[in-house]
Structure 1
């Protein structure tokens, strides 16, 4: 379970401010900084504004509201509940909504109401005004939660190796022990390498972050492609292996593995879209159950083997379909190495540990690698001593359990524990895959829709994409594990190789204390991972590795094109002296009207300021004189689009309030400095949102202004990017429709946009 930091969101919050995980840079990186040239242009534009905008204090006196509505509570004041994921966070207006659902559905069509009802039944009611609790785990809880993917691979890694060796008959099986010893050494080397990664990246260092920081953008994209391929196949392989464990115990279900597996993926999809995250102790049970089952199985099997002097049982007579060759041995090595999948999970999630985080993470990683080696080596040893060979009707682990326990309780427990941990391993991918997409979108290398949190505070778009891709692959391969393994190895070891190579560069640049030892460990891990990667790519190329390589190449191409588009948009939005729109005539703000409340003045009671009635009565103005407007301009950056929206708002000669949502105090000070460089011509309110959400604070602030002056007509003026090609629309957020849906229940609020064409 990866770390999830506090993040205020609302029922309509499908914004750019998702949770930021360990290893990601400051949230300030989401908002662009201005260079010296841009600042010079901004000052020149400000001087032009000064000639037409009049006295800035006059604009402040014209405000009919007090813009200072308070602040969000800092993270130190948030007290997560013990077993819940959501905790109350007061809004910026001071209202204390606990974890609550959105108001009545505003859809009027029958089809819309039916769709809304179905969504509520399946996914639950949308959550609003909440925070995601930052969960800290003890080592005994973090071990099973973060090790499920790696430890569960014992259920299919040894069998994948044997399935290749058996092609050479009995002669091929003799190589199982030497290959297993080599894989065990590889596990140890890579585990030690990731201990160095944790030391270098104490806030979390996944393959994408490490490769990008030390090797560059393209290697980082390749690592991300490998990770995402790994996560998709983790779901498909885990479900396929879990179904194999079930059908080994209940053979009658063999013909239905595809529909049952797809149904399991659908359940995982619905559960993750609901935002379900069980407490760590509940997630720990299946992993510990599997570890206990396999350890007991190994102990019983070795005891029986010791009773006969550790003499191997003769294997059944096998017909060789090909001879023993270097290529065959390398293929078996590459297949067996898939037992290492998920070994980097702990280095990704360092911040979820209790302090001292990096030290506890390194200890837990050592435990995980130790358990993985014991389980893997013990399973291969039992296969060797008991003469087990792969059987399409029954898994190797099931055969070993039958030998040790018969068909009694021990066998049933082993198969149930195996199915449970494989399902848990599949669910682990639902945490990590959307996170990688979030990091890519944050770096402008994936559509920004993957930054959004859904109704239930999960990265819904990434979850849906993962489910669709995994279901398609699972169905295409008939729910069988063996054909999926060749695709698996390429992505896994591509990420390993680039991550460890990036660490070599990191230590070479840093050269701190013990850097040579750390560099050596990571260099060995990188070399061994590269050997497995090359081996898998060559030996399994025709069996499906070509498809994984093709996916990686296409992913890099698409991500590069997406980044190119965002760079073009950024260039088009950059300030130019002759491109910024400035009001063409002298503009002055209106004088405070009778009944209006200047900024800083006491706010009259609702009985004195509100029109009678609500709903239609509250919107019953029939003449222009009855409308008292306030223009609100949400502005993220002082670029051409933002300046055009400000110019449009000021040209209407009505009270204007610029609103900036800042993710940190540093960014707030930076934006305030930019605003002062421009000339501070219009009133500005900066709302500090330490939970990195954008839409929720914006909605809450507007709602608070509405409660302060319900007699005002609030007009929200949004700068909007309008792209030339339809295919680029998915790359840009549609803020205006989301705001309209959020503010629709409130009367006298207008949302309009100022388009900027690129």
Structure 2
């Protein structure tokens, strides 16, 4: 390692603390990297399915409360909930088959309904994932504080913020590492809740008869007072307000990049685990609520009330009930993982499509989407403080956005199978599932939005609309810049040359220009010509340097990384060919890395040692009027490299490239 390398310059204690918190960098040249980072179905079920399973902690409760005194409908509501879980899960399993590289609802809407639908779906998903983190942490705090005195509830919001910070750190370290930490919580939840629900159903099976009679009496009474339409509207309202139960089902299709090969098989098996566990848990909770006649108690969740009632006659029943509900709260913390996994991946997909700043597609040295993780965590903390951790308000906001995405996804898949009706013999079977899913999701979306508009639903729509508007502003800027660069390409890509081609090898004693380039384009050619015109007859050698930057778009597998390297190498060979046709001795150097600054500095340092009479050149976009958002939307790579190399005594020059925007 060079004595001037970053790790050497950083104080020893600070470096040790950073490594302890974040972890050591991942090695890109490790042939087993993708295999070791990918998830098998069980781990994916824990990391992604926890969100769906944990939604049973608040979704069924919201639906049951909405029934009011008409609790006889709980059994039917439980059955409808379980069926809906399987329908949506099956629909997303089909999405996994069609879009095996991930992206979920954003990709479906973009490819099948157009870019406008795509950005709506993507923004709804982003806000939804922020709310996933927020509502999961808030529900976790509610479950924990159910067993604490009321005067301690004032510390609930500070605790939620602390938990959010902990999750940020865990996810910066890596997804698999964070899952290993939280797997015991998931296992305890499954064991304790399976025990509670089976105890509730089996030991109270003698009450099924009276419950059926109560159902008949309640139905007869409501038919005579409310009528069938009134009952249907009541049921639809409760069913829709329990829409939080289905949140998290889409997580697997959004995060297919992290699945173990064969990805489609792994993803579909994970979906099966998630759907089965969620459908059973939600349906069993409704049955237990009805069998035991659970009533709300101030300061306690319905599940906490249920656990107290069921375990009261057990030895150490109070402790068992506490562990059961504490595991529920802890699982909600695990469920927040989904927001930190799916959110940054949606952001990266949108960044690749220029809807968001390109830096959100970048990976950290731990191969995590650090910028997206910070963004999601910071926004979740802000929402926790704003709502003071109110689960009721958050669930309403949460359910609306997730069903925007669900609805657009089902509409997109329906359109897909209509187009495939001449090619796919099972198109009618698949289409019918997506149409049913579309009807269910659209119904829940409309009723929830209308019913809860004044109770927080309006805020979701405002936030999502603002995010959509921001995305359009960002994309319009990138398109204007792209248009300006395209003019350079049109002018310079076929740059004419005359004279003999220089085939001489490079002489280490000759003056050498080291030029940093990306792909072969007008921007790089403009920089090369600027070097030649600004410093005429100064340099005899030109060494082109490029970094194959691994970001979320290319970090999908070995073949994608190899394709990226081949593309970069092809571009460098074109630069070398142009320089030699201009009469210079030229060659190229390249490396693959996560951090373009660190990788480029290492390459430039090695070349400067080989060619002592050298200087580094790079181009930088320059705007007529510098705006505050330019630094956010365009990286400062050239300036960061210049500062570091000049500190090490290597001459570095930045040449301006003017773009009319």
TM range (shorter): 0.7 to 0.9
1:441 aligned to 2:351?
yes
Show the 5 A alignment for 1:359-758. 359-406=265-312, 407-454=317-364, 457-510=367-420, 511-575=423-487, 599=505, 629-651=511-533, 652=535, 653=537, 654=539, 655-662=541-548, 664-668=564-568, 671=571, 675=575, 680-681=581-582, 685=587, 694-709=596-611, 711-722=612-623, 724-729=625-630, 730-740=632-642, 742-743=644-645, 746-758=648-660
SS at match of 2:388: coil
- Answer with 151-160 or 675-684: which moved more: 675-684
**1:103 match:** 8
Deviation at 1:583, TM superposition (A): 12
**1:66 match:** none
Contact 1:713 1:750 in 2 (8 A): no
**1:146 match:** 48
**1:243 match:** 141
Residues 1:556 and 1:200: Cα distance change in structure 2 (over 3 Å): same
SS at match of 1:753: strand
Q: Give 1:262's match in structure 2, choosing from 154, 161, 183.
A: 161
Contact 2:542 2:587 in 1 (8 A): no
Contact 1:334 1:536 in 2 (8 A): yes
Deviation at 1:191, TM superposition (A): 1.1
Contact 1:198 1:205 in 2 (8 A): no
CA distance in 2, matches of 1:279, 1:544: 32
**2:558 match:** none
Residues 1:204 and 1:718: Cα distance change in structure 2 (over 3 Å): same
Residues 1:208 and 1:692: Cα distance change in structure 2 (over 3 Å): farther
Q: Which runs of 5+ in 1 are unaligned?
A: 1-94, 107-112, 316-322, 593-597, 604-608, 610-627
Show the 5 A alignment for 1:97-136. 102-105=7-10, 120=18, 123=21, 127=25, 133-134=33-34, 135-136=37-38
SS at match of 1:367: helix
Contact 2:604 2:616 in 1 (8 A): no
**1:204 match:** 102
Residues 1:454 and 1:741: Cα distance change in structure 2 (over 3 Å): farther
SS at match of 1:716: strand
Deviation at 1:154, TM superposition (A): 0.7
CA distance in 2, matches of 1:387, 1:747: 78
**2:126 match:** 228
1:338 aligned to 2:244?
yes
**1:300 match:** 199
Q: Which runs of 5+ in 2 are unaligned?
A: 216-225, 549-562
SS at match of 2:621: strand
SS at match of 2:48: helix
Deviation at 1:195, TM superposition (A): 1.7
Residues 1:217 and 1:740: Cα distance change in structure 2 (over 3 Å): same
SS at match of 2:9: coil
Residues 1:378 and 1:365: Cα distance change in structure 2 (over 3 Å): same
The superposition leaves residues 599-653 of structure 1 with CA deviations (integer Å, 9 ceiling, x where unpaired) of 367x7xxxxx9xxxxxxxxxxxxxxxxxx74222222245443232111112313
CA distance in 1, matches of 2:656, 2:140: 53
Contact 1:330 1:539 in 2 (8 A): no
SS at match of 1:575: helix
Q: Give 1:185's match in structure 2, choosing from 61, 74, 83.
A: 83
Contact 1:633 1:659 in 2 (8 A): yes
Contact 1:494 1:533 in 2 (8 A): yes
Residues 1:585 and 1:505: Cα distance change in structure 2 (over 3 Å): closer
CA distance in 2, matches of 1:708, 1:629: 11
SS at match of 2:49: helix
1:173 aligned to 2:81?
no
Contact 2:254 2:345 in 1 (8 A): no
Report the number of matched residues: 613
CA distance in 1, matches of 2:45, 2:658: 51
CA distance in 2, matches of 1:128, 1:197: 31
Residues 1:356 and 1:753: Cα distance change in structure 2 (over 3 Å): same
SS at match of 2:512: strand
The superposition leaves residues 430-449 of structure 1 with CA deviations (integer Å, 9 ceiling, x where unpaired) of 12211111111111111122
Deviation at 1:360, TM superposition (A): 2.9
Deviation at 1:193, TM superposition (A): 0.8
The superposition leaves residues 568-589 of structure 1 with CA deviations (integer Å, 9 ceiling, x where unpaired) of 1111112369966999999999
- Larger RCO of the pair (alpha carbons < 8 Å, separation 6+): 1
CA distance in 1, matches of 2:386, 2:599: 44
CA distance in 2, matches of 1:660, 1:643: 14
RMSD: 3.7
- Answer with 630-639 or 471-480: which moved more: 630-639
Contact 2:156 2:389 in 1 (8 A): yes
Contact 1:331 1:540 in 2 (8 A): no
CA distance in 2, matches of 1:142, 1:180: 26
Deviation at 1:279, TM superposition (A): 6.5
CA distance in 2, matches of 1:269, 1:420: 16
Deviation at 1:386, TM superposition (A): 0.7
Q: TM-score when scaled to structure 1?
A: 0.73
- Answer with 354-363 or 484-493: which moved more: 354-363
Deviation at 1:531, TM superposition (A): 1.5
Contact 1:664 1:688 in 2 (8 A): no
**1:155 match:** 57
- Answer with 183-192 or 570-579: which moved more: 570-579
Deviation at 1:691, TM superposition (A): 6.2
CA distance in 1, matches of 2:276, 2:372: 33
The superposition leaves residues 89-117 of structure 1 with CA deviations (integer Å, 9 ceiling, x where unpaired) of xxxxxx899xx9722149xxxxxx99x78
Residues 1:685 and 1:338: Cα distance change in structure 2 (over 3 Å): farther
- Answer with 369-378 or 543-552: which moved more: 543-552
**2:263 match:** 357
Residues 1:351 and 1:468: Cα distance change in structure 2 (over 3 Å): closer
